[in-house]
Structure 1
Amino acid sequence: MLSLKNRSLFTVFSFVLTVCAEMDFPPNCILPKSNGVRCAETQPSIQWYFDPVLVKCLAFKYQGCGGNANRFKKTRECESECIPMDFGWCALNSIAEKNKHGETKICGFHSPEPSKKVEPCSKGYRCSSLAFFSICCPTEAEGNSFCSISRLLRIL
């Protein structure tokens, strides 16, 4: 069972991970969960919202009216809208570098797809090996210290 102290530490740790990893979610996905309000026209229903700290789509009871854009009828809709396809490839779930077409930049010796060319990583990224190919991941996330003190001080 988590004590209040442990829950507070978990909240701070989650916040630091989210901020330091610089997650870049669509604007509607970072809106707070909103249950909406009861109304005569519709019945309450189970819907899904995206939690940017947990990086998960979670169920909640939607009251039927109002609310905000962080609400999806199906978990699959929530995941496809809010979780990047390359999520989890780089350390701390940081976002891999994108090429000029908005695709994950492939580096190293070979590409998983013949149509994708291998490119060098830009400054601030380094080539990180996966099982069958490599991608450009943020240097800070891949290094020994994922979040510099100066960056934390700017935030706090």
Structure 2
Amino acid sequence: MDLVFYFVLLAANWIAVTAQTPPDRCLEPIAFGKLCTNSEAKIKYHFDNQTGLCMAFKFNGCEGNENNFDSSSECVSSCYPTEIVGCPIKSNPITKEDGSSSCRQSEECGSDAYCSKRLSGGGTCCSIAVRKSLDADYNPVCGTRRTVVKLENDQILIGKSCKSNFCPTGSKCLKGTYFSTCCEKI
């Protein structure tokens, strides 16, 4: 009888603790919010779980959800893992002939992959094509007399898509493979 009481008490405590735990804010979808009279629309940042990146969006001022940060650095410090494990943009690893995807050198991964190394040692075979597309997104071709919009820390301003309405007035949104960027006149 005492054992049953102990398990019931343990289960009740577990349920109480779990019910108090807030949802993981970094996994919530982008929420643009609603226009309202007591707050202005402004650029905020959200963690995009699909790519594992913090991206800008125009927040309309009211409602929304907790995946809503005032700066890119606040989003990064709240949502990025301390060590990136795996391939860029959460892409699937490349499987080697032996069935594994772990590596120490890029030569082990084959001609269409490279070894993405971890700080703690070892690595994962990742797609060269994904890395090239990501590099192209980070280095957009803005055209004549235009340059990519950057943040104070020299990081480029990115958004999930042009529908995120994150580009400053007068700049042009450019859609990439994994995210969009903004180009402004020089």
Give the TM-score normalised by the residue count of structure 2: 0.37
Give the TM-score normalised by the residue count of structure 1: 0.43
Higher relative contact order (CA 8 A, sep 6+): 1
* Structure ID, larger Rg: 2
Structure with higher strand content: 2
